[in-house]
Amino acid sequence: MSAERTRYSGPITEAGVHPHSLVEQGFASDAALAAVLDRYPAALFDINLYDYDEAGQVSLRTGARGRLNGEDLLAAIQQGRLWVNLREVETGWPELWAAAMTEFGKVQRTYPGMRAVKNAGQLILSSPKARVPYHFDAAGVVLFHLRGRKRVFVYPGDEAHLAEADMEQVVSRQTTEELPYRLAFEADAQVMDLEPGQALTWPIYAPHRVENLDRFCVSLSMDFQTWPSRFRNGALYTNAVLRSRGGRPRMTDRMAGPELAARWAASLALKRAGGLKNRIARFDRDFEPEVGAADGAGALRA
Ligand SMILES: [Fe+2]
């Protein structure tokens, strides 16, 4: 492992915990969550059920929103083994979003030089035994933890743990965000237990995974772009196109600012021209949430 835990020379050099006040503001009570589940647009739900084999390799089943009301859906999550993600909190729950952006500002001010230019949020409700597989986000992340306890494992973002060719595939949406994972990576993990009222952030791109610690968990995952992350993502996209055409692009790790900016500009033109087709097919759904069913996953109904 290299001494640098990140391949990104941004202001966040290691994982760190910050306080936040979203719990006191009442956003994580059963009543507030049932109400938001009731009204949240079905198109903005991701419902996943993860299983792991002995080598830590993940398999995924996906759920449809189904027809449970908010209270019953909350009960199914609290009793089951589900991971429920409400996308676009900025439009789906503007009151929570406004409060979270205030908290984000406080976190950002502790990192001199950090300037987010775009933020987006996902509210994650997950069952007591849910686990999120090893992945990276092509963005900075602040994970505001609101309820329950979760253990977050953060790994070095070097070539051994996060190969650039794999990053290209994710950034150009040729695959989902799951990365090749080996149990041997565990020796390199930074491990942190999160309590309600704590927010965790880590170096941009650092791979991570999450295990709930036997309690129903609620977190707001806020991702953000800075100009350097935009340039880097654009360069990774351009490299993905070059590689798909048989090229062998230079690693973005070895590029200075002007070259990254040029590759970002090229990515805009490539995307306008059709670039790479998004190959993440719409998943067929495997189940819908049901109170009392095994893992909270009932049969799909027509
Ligand atoms: Fe993540």
Using one digit for the tens of pLDDT, what is the confidence trace for 93-125?
999 999 999 999 999 999 999 999 999 999 999
> Do residues 247 and 144 lie in contact, with contact meaning Cβ atoms separated by under 8 Å?
no
**Confidence at residue 2, expressed as pLDDT on a 0 to 100 scale:** 44
Instruction: Name the stretches of the chain with pLDDT < 70.
Output: 1-6, 9, 177, 280-283, 302
> Do residues 205 and 139 lie in contact, with contact meaning Cβ atoms separated by under 8 Å?
no
Query: Reduced to 3 states, what is the DSSP secondary structure of residue 39?
Result: helix
The Å distance, Cα 136 to ligand 1 centre, comes to 6
The Å distance, Cα 275 to ligand 1 centre, comes to 26
**Confidence at residue 274, expressed as pLDDT on a 0 to 100 scale:** 81
**Confidence at residue 103, expressed as pLDDT on a 0 to 100 scale:** 98
User: Could you give the CA distance from residue 295 to residue 81 in angstroms, rounded to a whole number?
Assistant: 5
The Å distance, Cα 301 to ligand 1 centre, comes to 31
Helices (H), 40-163: 70-79, 89-92, 94-109
The Å distance, Cα 87 to ligand 1 centre, comes to 13
Q: Provide the sign of the torsion angle of the four alpha carbons 84, 90, 93, 97, taken in this order.
A: positive
User: Could you give the CA distance from residue 229 to residue 10 in angstroms, rounded to a whole number?
Assistant: 9
Hey, which residues does 178 pair with through a beta bridge? 135
Q: How far is CA 217 from CA 29, 78, 126, 149, in A?
A: 11, 9, 5, 6
**Confidence at residue 9, expressed as pLDDT on a 0 to 100 scale:** 66
> Do residues 214 and 148 lie in contact, with contact meaning Cβ atoms separated by under 8 Å?
no
